[in-house]
A and B are shown apart, each in its own frame.
Chain A
């Protein structure tokens, strides 16, 4: 190993000096990548919600069509299901860290079932709204932008939930089979909690601010 190579960053033993550096923020690289993805995805949702808020604020005939039954009740149930699935994901991560594979897999499947139930409730709600005449480009209550913004924001979130359910099943099976370890379960847990955090903003802004006025 000559002096020129060492000056370029090569270690005298032949390894690059980059490999001897500690992991940034003292976490595994794949966990940092998940955090970076979460930050970028949070920006995406924030941009969608800010754009929605801008349109809502600037539109005089913005409708407020959501009745207590069934829409608000449905939103309550969906919120409860998703927050509870975050708790079951915590149980899964804890079991994985303790090395209890069967318990961790069981809690992962329960979390996936919660996500699936959320998706079914959501699609059922969409079908109900479409049945009332509210589509992407038309609705019987007010400005056409209402439908476009509602379906795009909730649809983007539903897409994340669906992807999360698929990931839960895939990672759960691979963890049980020994291909993935507890760190991988924890990293997937970060994604699932993020999906829950986004819903915490979607519910008040998209649903609750559009509740039908009571007299």
Chain B
């Protein structure tokens, strides 16, 4: 790695670091907005995904790795994360008092 390339990488890393800090700060701002729970969750989740994406791509250098590795990591993780969320409707069932739920 030549010095110029090295300095450019340091600059990029610092820029990504500052952007991640700004996004984290935005999450703290959103926490004190007077919006309903669903909106707050959605905004926080999107910002967290953005933060994590930047960290995985640039801090963990997944962006500069082989595209096959990127696809391997992304596809497996996103598939499993998506299937984990199939049970959300059940939490609403418990909340609103469907038969055999414990709160009603």
Residues of A near any B CB (own CB < 8 A): 25-27, 32, 35, 39, 42-43, 46-47, 50, 53-55, 57-60, 72, 75-76, 79-80, 83-84, 86-87, 89-91, 94, 97-98, 189-190, 193-194, 196-197, 200-201, 203-205, 208-209, 211, 214
Contact = CB atoms under 8 A, between A and B. Distances in A.
Contact of A57 (B9, B51, B91, B103): B91
Given A43-B80, A60-B103, A208-B30, A83 B72 contact: no
A201 B52 contact: yes
B27 A204 contact: yes
5 contacts: A27-B66, A83-B20, A87-B17, A204-B48, A211-B31
B53 to A, nearest CB: 9
A205 B92 contact: no
A42 B77 contact: yes
A46 B27 contact: no
B55 A94 contact: no
The 8 A-B residue pairs whose C-beta atoms are closest, nearest first, are A204-B44, A25-B69, A58-B94, A208-B31, A57-B91, A58-B91, A193-B59, A200-B51
B69 A27 contact: yes
A76 to B, nearest CB: 6
A204 B47 contact: yes
A120 B32 CA distance: 27
Contacts of A98: 1, 6
A54 B14 CA distance: 37
Given A83-B24, A94-B9, A200-B48, A47 B17 contact: no
Nearest to B56: A197
A54 B90 contact: yes
Contacts of A97: 1
